[in-house]
Amino acid sequence: MFLATRDLAFFATFSPEAFDLNRFTLRLTHLTTVGAMLVFFGVYQQRFSAEVLRLAAGWPTTRPEAEIGPLPVREALEYAAGVFNAPRALLLRDDPMEPWVHVAEWRGLAAGTTRLTGWVPG
């Protein structure tokens, strides 16, 4: 009995006299907008997750104590250039106890060459 009453009330709302085109258009527009936003957020979440995984995959690992030598400037600049998809990377380091500035430049176009120099200010 309850189901018959519910079905009768449901179908009575779709009678030709009860149909309102403006109300139907507004609800359809609202539903389409919300659906498009959900699709956009889903695509954005997938892109964001892929980017985080790409960044985490290239994270530098720790080296064993026996391999510790000079700082891995080339690897750090190469990784930074890869993150930003840049053809070159430049690192400037200033030590207040020294009269010069350390400059490290990595160029990916020239087969991954790295040049380390010291510049005297002035």
CA distance 22 to 29: 11
Q: How much is the pLDDT for 68? A: 47
Instruction: Determine which of 28-32, 68-72, 81-85 has the lowest per-residue pLDDT on average.
Output: 68-72
Distances 97 to 88, 100, 101 between C-alpha atoms, Å: 28, 9, 11
Residue 107: band (very low, low, confident or very high) from pLDDT cuts 50, 70, 90: confident
Q: Look at residue 40 in the predicted model and tell me its pLDDT.
A: 97
Q: What is the mean pLDDT of residues 61-68?
A: 52
Q: What is the pLDDT of residue 60?
A: 57
> Rounded distance, CA 37 to CA 42, Å?
9
Alpha-carbon distance 87 to 98, whole Å? 30
CA distance linking residue 74 with residue 111, whole number of Å: 12
Question: Six-digit token pair at 41?
Answer: 């957020």
How high does pLDDT run on average in the chain? 75
Query: Which has more confidence, 19 or 22?
Result: 22
Percent of the chain scoring above 70 in pLDDT: 62
pTM tops 0.75, yes or no: no
Report CA dihedral (39, 45, 51, 53) to the nearest 10 degrees. Answer: -130
Tell me how far apart the alpha carbons of residues 51 and 83 are, in angstroms, rounded to a whole number: 9
Separation CA 82–CA 78 (nearest Å) = 6
Beta strands in 26-111 (DSSP E): 88-94, 101-107
